[in-house]
Amino acid sequence: MRYPDLSEYRYPRLPRPIPSVLNVGWLDDGDYLHGEVPAHFLVKLAELISREPVNQMRHIDPCPICGEEGIRASNAGTELFLGTAEVWVPSPEGIHVYAAPDLVWHFVDQHGYLPPHGFVEAVMNVSTTSDWSGERLREVLVAELYRPLPKE
């Protein structure tokens, strides 16, 4: 499933996109920006992915670029099993939230994907010990989509 980087978050079953949540890393082939991320970016991202799976699915997505399935990885002592969930990261200014497939870790590590600068900044700046929960936020935002609009 491909969504352009920084487009509004949407999901096939959702009635509308969620404008405060921005897509990152929803790739479907090799057509994406390549580049270097800061040292420690993958360590931080691995911690976030293992700390809280968001929108966990019942199936495993293979990597759309190399086709590998059930990707396991370990990074600085963090064990990862990728392709089943998303990772949500709040922007440092608190204005919006980035939503990426957990496979984004593999895209950066193995395929040289360069995520948008804002996402890299957000990952580098987020506290891995705060009790902020992407899953809790997702539930609230999705519930809002189904609330009837106020009548004029």
The number of residues that bind Zn ion (CB under 5 A) is 3
How many Å is the Cα radius of gyration of the chain? 15
Classify each residue of 20-29 as buried b or exposed e, where b means 16 or more C-beta atoms within 10 Å of its C-beta: ebbbbbbbee
With both helix axes pointing from N to C terminus, report the angle between 41-51 and 104-111 in degrees, rounded to the nearest 10.
150
Residue whose CB is less far from Zn ion, 66 or 76: 66
Residue 66: CB minimum distance to Zn ion, A: 3
Torsion of Cα atoms, 119 then 88 then 62 then 31, to 10°: -20
Residue whose CB is less far from Zn ion, 97 or 113: 113
Burial of 53 (0-12, 13-18, 19+ CB in 10 A): middle
Residue 133: CB minimum distance to Zn ion, A: 28
Residue whose CB is less far from Zn ion, 67 or 150: 67
18 near Zn ion (CB under 5 A): no
Residue whose CB is less far from Zn ion, 17 or 64: 64
Residue 60: CB minimum distance to Zn ion, A: 13
Residue 62: CB minimum distance to Zn ion, A: 8
Residue whose CB is less far from Zn ion, 106 or 138: 106
Write out the binding residues for Zn ion, residues 32-71 only, by CB under 5 A: 63, 65-66
**How is the chain split among helix, strand and coil, in percent rounded to 5?**
25, 20, 50
Q: Is 23 helix (H, G, I), strand (E, B) or coil?
A: strand
Residue 9: CB minimum distance to Zn ion, A: 23
Q: Kindly state the tokens that stand for 145.
A: 């989509």
Q: Site residues (CB under 5 A) for Zn ion?
A: 63, 65-66
